[in-house]
Amino acid sequence: MTITDEDCLSEALAFNEQFEAAAATRPACGQAPSAAALALLRRNRLGGDAPPNGSKWRQDITRLRNILDPPVPPQEEALFDI
């Protein structure tokens, strides 16, 4: 079966529509961002939408690694240098 341009047309049009909608929410280069955009950025920076801490599996592995082979505190490293 051969895929033609018309087979992909609806997907391409949907992608273009989503892309244009996302681009419309961003300020143009050289244009000041809106007050709403600044508020969103400030809220994100302050942790309003904090990213997840990673997968539960990764957290467990890190916790176990720190228990079995704890990191050496900087004060103790300084003692080894003497």
Q: Which residues contact 49 (CB under 8 A, 6 or more apart)?
A: 43
Q: Which residues contact 41 (CB under 8 A, 6 or more apart)?
A: 33
Residue 79 has pLDDT above 60, yes or no: yes
Confidence of residue 46 (pLDDT cuts 50, 70, 90): low
pTM of the shown model: 0.30
